[in-house]
Amino acid sequence: MRKIGEERTSVASFRSVDGNYMWSYNRNYYLGEDMENNNNYSKIIGEIVSDFKFSHYTCGEKFFLVYVSVGRLSGAKDIIRVMTSERLIDVKKNLIGSIVDIVGQIRVYRARGGERSHLMVSVFAMDIRFVNDSCDFANNNLTILDGYICKNPVYRKTPLGREVSDIILAVNRRYGKSDYIPCICWWRNARFANTLNVGTRIRVQGRVQSREYVKKLSDMESETRTAYEVSISKLEVIDSGKEN
């Protein structure tokens, strides 16, 4: 029997739209039943850039939010929201500047602020390890999801002509819960995603990312907001949801 925290190496594979196999080699840890279904896996390596902020308290355990900066090959950085238990890391310390390797899942919940509500997308940490800054960051941001399209994909083109499709993916958890995860795909995957129906089961691989956008509140007022989503690089249809 494996113990919680036992190090292991796993290999995830799936067939792409064009029929080719793609492989992802991941060093992770046995984290209990929540990770055994393999329908929601996220791993990031980055630098802590904020203090820990109390989020909520449940079953005698306190949870905190912290932000982690994760680099891209382009040199840009994503500022990722991470939810962690006080039992995983010392939340009382000033750990800004520390490099951490986080394994967990993408979680989504709706938070209220004033008169409006908004989706909170974060990496729910199930294991956190400190690493040194000489670590290989070639695979520092990986998410694999297996879920169901729950709204019609929205196809569009950016002002520069890039094809984009927005997808909401329902990923099941235990006890009848689900996370409704915003995803975005590009070019041929965007065009292909636009042909998929609600109820289609897909498996995707990509990265969790942050991006700023301007929300128009009125003719005279607007504000800059940050969106969090999974940017899809690989997509496979598992079940079209149609009867034969």
User: Do residues 103 and 185 share a domain?
Assistant: no
Final residue of a structural domain among 98, 113, 138: 138
Q: Cα–Cα–Cα angle for 198, 201, 204, nearest 5°?
A: 115
Full residue range of the structural domain in which residue 45 is found:
9-138
Q: Is the pLDDT of residue 206 over 70?
A: yes
Residues ≥6 apart with Cβ < 8 Å to 88: 125, 127, 128
Mean residue pLDDT of the chain comes to 80
Final residue of a structural domain among 110, 138, 166: 138
User: Do residues 111 and 29 share a domain?
Assistant: yes
DSSP 20: -
pLDDT at 44: 94
User: Do residues 132 and 111 share a domain?
Assistant: yes
User: Do residues 235 and 164 share a domain?
Assistant: yes
User: Do residues 13 and 94 share a domain?
Assistant: yes
Read off the pLDDT of each residue in 216-239 and give the average, rounded to a whole number: 83
Position 150, amino acid: C
Residue 3 maps to a domain: no
Q: How many CB atoms lie within 10 A of CB 196?
A: 19
3-state secondary structure of 181: strand
Helix (H) or strand (E) segment spanning residue 77: strand 77-85
Q: Is the pLDDT of residue 235 over 60?
A: yes
Residues ≥6 apart with Cβ < 8 Å to 29: 5, 6, 7, 8, 103, 127
Q: Is the pLDDT of residue 10 over 80?
A: no
pLDDT, tens digit, 9 for 90 and up, residues 69-89:
998 888 888 999 999 999 999
User: Do residues 128 and 110 share a domain?
Assistant: yes
When comparing pLDDT for 96 and 4, which is higher?
96
pLDDT, tens digit, 9 for 90 and up, residues 149-175:
999 999 888 888 888 999 999 999 887
User: Do residues 157 and 56 share a domain?
Assistant: no
Q: Which residues of 77-116 are buried (b: 16+ CB within 10 A; e: fewer)?
A: bbbbbbbbbeebbebeeebeebbbbbbbbbbbeeeeeeee
User: Do residues 152 and 102 share a domain?
Assistant: no
Residue 82 maps to a domain: yes
User: Do residues 91 and 150 share a domain?
Assistant: no
Read off the pLDDT of each residue in 211-235 and give the average, rounded to a whole number: 80
Report the domain count for the chain: 2
When comparing pLDDT for 94 and 136, which is higher?
94
The pTM assigned to this predicted structure is 0.78
User: Do residues 80 and 171 share a domain?
Assistant: no
User: Do residues 73 and 51 share a domain?
Assistant: yes
Distance of CA 107 to the CA centre of its chain: 7
Residue 4 maps to a domain: no
